[in-house]
Amino acid sequence: MPATAALRQRPRTFVIAAAAVPLALAILADDVRVRRHLEAARRDPLTGLADRPALMYRITRLAATHREQLHVLVADADGLKTVNDDLGHAAGDMLIAAVGRRLGTWAAARGGLAARLGGDEFAAVVLLPPTTTVREVTALRDQLARPVTCGTEILSPAVSIGTARAADLPDAADASRILRGADMAMYRVKTRREQCGYVATRHDAYTPSVHGRRPGRPGTHLPVG
């Protein structure tokens, strides 16, 4: 090809590439907007917390990279039914929203994620030095239990928290097993079998489920071993 012809074609190639840049940026911006829209749609509308799939995804990622510091907590706000029955569901929603916001702030400050599992039950995944587990969980319980003002009423939530440390469980324990351990630990604290700060054992994480639910939940009719 003659040199003059090649020189004539170069600007055309540049123009095409330059024209493609705004289009690529527009596509990228649309992709970001779509992802943000999906993330917002998957958040709990009452508390703004993440959902269970997002929590499980974060646990899985951190278990692969920071297993020694990975902590999963399950928190249950006791007495919600009494609040709903005595003061109405609006008061119950206000209580749930307050506990959710506090847990979300606590988890975010530790580079973690909080989620609402449903009803009055929450979970969080965070990275903590193992030596601080009991101190951190006890302080969190006190923080979540701070009074909540609802009109002329003062609500005092009682919160039970169970914890599972990935490092205390077999390497084969996946996200669902770690969460199961935290759930069982929470139930032991709630039923006063254990003190606040109790950390799940292998037995807790591998407790057999009944119809997909841990023993002790309504509908299972089985005691906790």
Q: Which are the catalytic amino acids?
A: 120
In terms of Cα–Cα distance, which of 144, 40, 46, 43 is closest to 89? Answer: 46
CB crowding 65-76: b at 16 or more within 10 Å, else e: eeeebbbbbbbb
| Total number of residues shown for the chain | 225
Rounded CA gap, 225 and 216, in Å?
10
DSSP for residue 48: -
3-state secondary structure of 73: strand
Task: Fill in the amino acid letter for 87.
Answer: L
Rounded CA gap, 220 and 225, in Å?
13
Rounded CA gap, 134 and 17, in Å?
58
